[in-house]
Amino acid sequence: MAQEITRPTGGQVSRTFDGGAIASTRPLFQPRTDIYETEDSIVVLADMPGVGPDSADITLERRVLTIRGRVPTFEHDRYRQVYAEYGEGDYERVFTVSEDIDRDRIKATQKDGVLILVLPKAEQAKTRKIAVQSS
């Protein structure tokens, strides 16, 4: 089971780097995410349009899973923006994972702006089937 632990109120927050100083005023978005569990793994799918395969950053520290994605700035010389339904910015989202994960076998792929993360459950965390014997 994975659950979200942060939820910004306004949809975007200002970004701070490790030093604590505000490095940029670019908005930060929470990617829309699907999480499902199969018998032996937890799969996380996060919509991060604009994020290339090399620009996603995933960390799992103890039970805290952090997904980050950097979006290159969209340059349009000689153009001015007249209408906007989405903002440009980076992505970040944090989840807690309550299952033990086999860290060595985590697989991450990025395709068409979607991050697919497969977190295999550790052997001991897998549900054991107990056979009931009839007497």
Partner 1 sequence: MLLTQTGRLGWDPFAEIRRMQNEMTRLFADVEARAATQAFPPVNLWVGEDSLVVTAEIPGVAPADLNLTVREDTLTIQGYRALPVETDSVAWHLRERPYGTFSRTVGLPFRVDPDKVQARFTNGVLEIELQRPEADRPRKIEIKAA
Residues that bind partner 1 (CB under 8 A): 1-4, 7, 9, 11, 32-38, 42-43, 45, 47-52, 74, 76, 78-86, 110, 112-114
Closest approach, Cβ 126 to partner 1, in A, equals 14
Q: What is the DSSP letter of 101?
A: B
Q: Which residue's structure tokens are 């339904």?
A: 85
Closest approach, Cβ 68 to partner 1, in A, equals 15
Closest approach, Cβ 135 to partner 1, in A, equals 33
Q: Measuring CA to CA, how many Å separate 84 from each of 39, 59, 87, 90?
A: 42, 32, 7, 17
Nearer residue to partner 1 within complex by CB, 17 or 74: 74
Q: Give the contacts of 24 (CB within 8 A, at least 6 positions apart).
A: 15
Nearer residue to partner 1 within complex by CB, 28 or 48: 48
Nearer residue to partner 1 within complex by CB, 16 or 36: 36
Q: Measuring CA to CA, how many Å separate 3 from each of 33, 49, 66, 135?
A: 11, 22, 12, 42
Nearer residue to partner 1 within complex by CB, 82 or 132: 82
